[in-house]
Chain A
Amino acid sequence: MNTATARGIVPAPIARQPWEMLIPLVLLTTFGGLVLYSAGGGAMQPFAQSHFIRFAVFSVMTAIIASLPREAVRVLTYPGYLVVLLMLLGVEIVGQVGGGSQRWLEFGPIRIQPSELMKPAVVLAMARFYETLPNGLIGTWRSAVPSGMLIALPIGLVLLQPDLGTSVAIAFGGVVVMFLAGLPLWWFMSAAGVAIAAAPLAYFFALRDYQRARVTTFLDPENDPLGAGYHIAQSKIAIGSGGIFGKGFNNGTQSHLNYLPEPHTDFVFATMAEEWGLIGGVFVLTMYALILRWGWKVASESQDRFCALLAAGATATIFFYIAINLLMVMGMAPAKGIPLPWMSHGGSSMMTNMICIGLLMMVNRWNAAAPRRGLTG
């Protein structure tokens, strides 16, 4: 790219864009669209078309986010967090009034899932918090309690919905930021120890029956081949039967004959692997690796703490989706409704991931505009 710029073939505004991420992203989304085309029975409707439209719409949003000025973001971070938190509260209230659990708010034709917005919002708020926290207070209670509250409040609200997967995703983004902010390592180790000790208690007292069933099914999938374990078993059959080269585009039997549950959302990777085989799987993994590697590069090139933590947190949030979804479809994690970024059909996850990409591009632009100046914070 640099050479291209030097030769003046490509105009500078275009050459400036992070193509090392954008190309894999577009390839991945297009590939996802192809898989959804097949999952839709070999038609653009009902999945592929809306997938592409959403990607186009959210790309505009991403571009807008990417062009936000640094000061505006710093100023708007906490109010933005607060707004999303109020929306989460709103979900609870509407849910109570409506007499049923729901996860979204409706504004005319648009349906917003505030818990999704909360993932980048928490990362932003945490980055902002640690930016303003005086260095000397790291390691004291003041470095942990306020930020802990920033995570705990939304998690509590999301758990009430109840949505365990999203609350874990929010926690993951927040904790990664805390970790990178330099909080004492033994805090994390003790927390992990407590979590391991508390897991059985949580299993028996905190989890709902269907969540408990997911855990037991994961631990022993053969136990219930036609019940909850059916999903994971069918997903493994789809992936394994694809072999190296797959059954061919539109020839997947597991997805086309409905053996694979949710072939267009949670199990889109299995739908893909059945038709495209190991080759397709390696391609998808490679694209994700390129995108995430770029994310970390942006984080490490950041000049200040806010940018570094924001970029790392956004990357971690994207990673969380990918890892949990792929572990699940390959039978290594409990089944949970976490979609695969840019491949699964669905607006909410697309929005969250595109916001993360927008934040990363924004930081990347700031980095390019003001190269790192050494040890300033």
Chain B
Amino acid sequence: MIKIPFLRDGPGRRAPLINASILRSTFERRAVLIGAVQGGIGVLLALRLGYLAIAENEKYRLESESNRVNLTLIPPRRGWILDRDGAPLASNRADFRVDLIPERLRNADDTVDRLGVLLALEPARIADIKDRVKTSRGFAPVEVASGLNYEQFAALSVRLPDLPGVVPQRGFSRFYPTASSVGHLIGYVGPASAEEYEKDPNPILITPGYKIGKDGLEKQFEKNLRGVPGARRVEVTAGGRIVRDLETREDVQGAPIRLTIDGPLQDYAARRIGLESGSVVVMDCQTGDLLCMASMPSFDPNSFSDGIGGVEYAMLREDERVPLRNKVLQGLYPPGSTIKPMHCMAFLRAGVKPTETIVCGGGRRIGNRFFNCHSSHGVVDMNKAIAQSCDSYFYHFAQAVGFDAVADMASLFGMGKQFELPVNSQFFGTVPNAAWKEKKFGRPWEPFDTVNASIGQGYYLASPLQLAVQSARLATGKAIKPRLIIDGKADEAPAFDFSPDNIAFIRQAMSDVVNGAGTARRAQLPLPDVKMAGKTGTAQVVSLSISDGRSGPWKYRDHGLFVFFAPFDNPRYAGAVVIEHGGGSGSAYPIARDVMTFMFDPQKGLDALRALEQQWGGTAQQRLEQRYAAYAAERGAAVKPAPRREQEIFDQVEAEARVAARQSEAIASDAIVPRDEANAAIPPADSTAPVAEPQPQSAPAPTPPQLEVSE
């Protein structure tokens, strides 16, 4: 039937006659053809159906399951960070929170604005969120708010159908009870950045509400603290509505870590620093446990955990007291006279007798040049040299024994060294010697270098942590190693080969600094049975021609330092206080005194602090919040957003810390003219009255330091 015969109808041929019968047979042939084509399509459809339903059944069944079943990860509760007594320094708080998934938003700005109205967010916060939504990769959640109350949460939940990409949920957020007091030590948490997710493409990282450690111990112990996420399997519609729960697996909370830090002491020390910029380190002399590592001013890690706001960041950046720098580890200062007892240990070891004397006539000739002392001390032995901080004595004996011997002793005491601690960044500082200077500057070691270094000036640089460690080592005669985490018993520190007599001698001399005829008599503990030993230090940062070190622009003032241990005859605690540009050691040792008072008699310590905080206008945290409110009101609209990557902030802070540490290098190229250790130049009668002086910086001016002066 179906032969090629249709083709004879081709253009080349004329059909001679077309009649009904030809048309009928054409119809029938063509009908068969169309029927065949239709049958063919029918067979094709049947085959295709069979292929989809049989051969590809497995694949499509899986796809249908993955459509239907939605796996929601439940962020694990983070492990707590505890102080040495088990009190939480970082815990978790159950709360209601809201996040955005940028790639699911229909109209980002509009959605954020609506959320802003619903949740009554500040304009600065709204601007931050918009900025973050714009710059984030679409999949990474952006936190809108946490700590919502139930009414806000419910109001938002009912509007969800109009707000795609908005994820409200119950969860836990990180909580730091002592806030800014532990900012630098503990660090903070935040949502994983796109880079972190690319490095570790674990879906938990982009689960809304999940935070990872960004800084400090939170970052160091991320693996321990993280925990195991829970999961909830639910059946969902295409629109995302949950039809029913299929299965839930609870999360496993991360393991806690226990620090050697004494929480109340840390908080006390941080608050006691007051309006100054500085740090307090306290160690346990037996175990090396770090009891306190306070660095102020600081930031509030609670407010950082939902992302660092632009206003907040601008305020912290513009503050010349650098609240973002952990000064315990990243602050480097010329140690000044605080290393004098340690240098004495070097002299003793080199054979100098404690009874050997020199004459200080307001200075001393070394070689063919006369170097000034801050005072004229007359006949000076070792005890008097420490107690009254006579520079001439150190010029003489450093020159006599050679500074290399002194530098070796400094290294032994941990100066210029890093310690094995779980911290992100730790500066080593410098113990200068001839080889170092030659290598660094290509210039030979000169007598004035010995003179400068012998009193802890010149190129000498140390961190507060190093000062505390050297103080502990000096107090005990053992190579105490600082420890931050309680994991088993501390190792017994090996003893140095110092004679007990020498150790006892230094202890006595340092006690005399405080309790005898020394430079820090106002540092005596107001306790009948505990005596503190210590050594003051005043580190100059600019030459006398620029500033007298006590007044004028803040950044030219002398650093105030104090190292200490107590009780002096059987040391339990040792530490260091460094106040940046405090105007001399008088800014440091009252803090050490109060911190140690708190250590032995908390009530007495707190009474002293409360009186001070009334003058200052509240606790450190309260003042931080007031400053933020004032700053936001003034500058709110005109700030640049914070860097998107925390690493940029860290790098910047660290780079600036390195620059700051070199401030004193400028005056190291010649001999220093030492200033009075005890700041006796300030009239004692005025000691409590505010000193009127210009405040060049725009940041809210602190009231002038309350200097305490020895008579």
Using a CB–CB cutoff of 8 Å, the interface residues on chain A facing chain B are 135-136, 138-139, 176, 179-182, 184-186, 234, 236-244, 253-254, 257-259, 273-274, 277-278, 281-282, 285, 288-289, 292, 296, 299-300, 305, 308-309, 312, 316, 319, 323, 326-327, 330, 332, 375-377
**How far apart are the CA atoms of A136 and B39 in the complex, in Å?**
33
Q: Which of B343-362 contact A (CB under 8 A)?
A: none
Interface-facing stretch out of B13-21, B444-452, B666-674: B13-21
Q: With an 8 A cutoff between CB atoms, is B115 at the interface?
A: no
Majority DSSP secondary structure for residues of B touching A: helix
Binds A, one of B176-184, B237-245, B280-288, B526-534: B237-245
Of all chain B residues, the one with the shortest Cβ separation from A143 is: B18
Contact call A240/B53, Cβ cutoff below 8 A: yes
State in angstroms the CA–CA spacing of A312 and B35 once bound together.
10
Compute how far the CA of A234 lies from the CA of B44 in the bound complex, rounded to whole angstroms.
Answer: 21
* Complexed CA–CA distance, A120 and B56 (Å): 39
Partner of A257, one of B38, B42, B236: B236
Contact A186 B53 (CB under 8 A): no
- B24 contacts the other chain (CB 8 A): yes
Q: Given A185-B10, A257-B67: A242 and B53 within 8 A (CB)?
A: yes
- Chain A positions within 8 Å of B48 at CB level: 330, 332
With beta carbons under 8 angstroms apart, the residue of B30, B31, B54, B235 that contacts A278 is: B54
B7 on the A face (CB < 8 A): yes
Q: Hey, which chain B residues are within 8 Å of A282, CB to CB?
A: 46, 49
| A–B complex contacts, Cβ < 8 Å, 12 sampled | A139-B18, A182-B23, A184-B9, A241-B64, A242-B57, A253-B68, A257-B235, A278-B54, A285-B45, A285-B46, A312-B27, A323-B45
A299 touches B31 (CB 8 A): yes
Q: Does B26 contact A (CB under 8 A)?
A: yes
Asked if B28 is an interface residue, CB under 8 A from chain A, the answer is yes
B6 at the interface (CB under 8 A from A): yes
Contacts of B237 in A (CB 8 A): 257-259
User: Separation in Å of the B293 CB from the closest CB of chain A?
Assistant: 51
Residue of chain A at shortest CB distance from B12: A186
B9 and chain A: residue at smallest CB distance: A184
Q: With A and B bound together, what is the CA distance between A359 and B30 in angstroms?
A: 21
By secondary structure, the A interface counts as helix
Tell me whether B61 is interfacial, beta carbon within 8 Å: yes
Asked if A138 contacts B23 (CB within 8 A), the reply is yes
Please indicate the chain A residues that have their CB under 8 angstroms from the CB of B402 in the complex: none
**Cα separation A257 to B26 with both chains bound (whole Å):** 52
Pairwise interchain contact A185-B38, C-beta atoms closer than 8 A: no
The smallest beta-carbon distance between B50 and chain A, in angstroms, is 6
Residue B379 lies at the interface, judged by CB distance under 8 Å to chain A: no
Given A257-B68, A257-B236, A375 and B52 contact (CB-CB distance below 8 Å): no
Q: Taking A253-B64, A316-B34 as contacts, is the C-beta distance between A182 and B18 under 8 angstroms? A: yes
B616 interfacial contact with A, CB 8 Å: no
Residue on A nearest B45 in the bound complex, by CB:
A326
A240 near B61: Cβ-Cβ < 8 Å: yes
Assuming the A-B contacts A243-B61, A316-B34, are A300 and B28 also in contact, with contact meaning beta carbons closer than 8 angstroms in the complex? Answer: yes
A184 to B15 CA separation, bound complex (whole angstroms): 10
CB–CB B53/A278 < 8 A: yes
Q: Are B53 and A244 in contact (CB under 8 A)?
A: yes
Seed contacts A179-B34, A259-B67, A375-B24; 8 additional CB < 8 Å A-B pairs: A135-B22, A180-B31, A237-B60, A240-B61, A244-B53, A257-B243, A316-B34, A330-B45
B49 and A278 contacting across the interface, CB-CB below 8 Å = yes
Q: Which of A241, A299, A309, A323 contacts B41 (CB 8 A)?
A: A323
Name the A residues within 8 Å of B22 (CB-CB): 135, 182
A300–B41 CA distance with the chains assembled, in angstroms? 21
Decide: A243 and B54 in contact? CB cutoff 8 A: yes
**Assembled-state Cα–Cα distance A167/B491 (Å):** 90
Give the shortest distance, in Å, between A215 (CB) and chain B (any CB). Answer: 20
A242 vs B52: C-alpha distance when bound (angstroms): 9
Distance to closest chain B CB from A160 (angstroms): 30
Are the CB atoms of A181 and B23 closer together than 8 Å?
A: yes
Q: A138-B18, A139-B18, A180-B34 are in contact. Are A186 and B63 (CB under 8 A)?
A: no
Minimum Cβ distance to chain B for residue A126 (Å) = 13
Contact status A237-B20, CB under 8 Å: no
Q: How far is the CB of B569 from chain A (nearest CB, A)?
A: 77
State the Cβ distance, B510 to closest chain A Cβ, in Å: 74
Q: In the assembled complex, how far is the CB of residue A233 from the closest CB belonging to chain B, in whole angstroms? A: 8
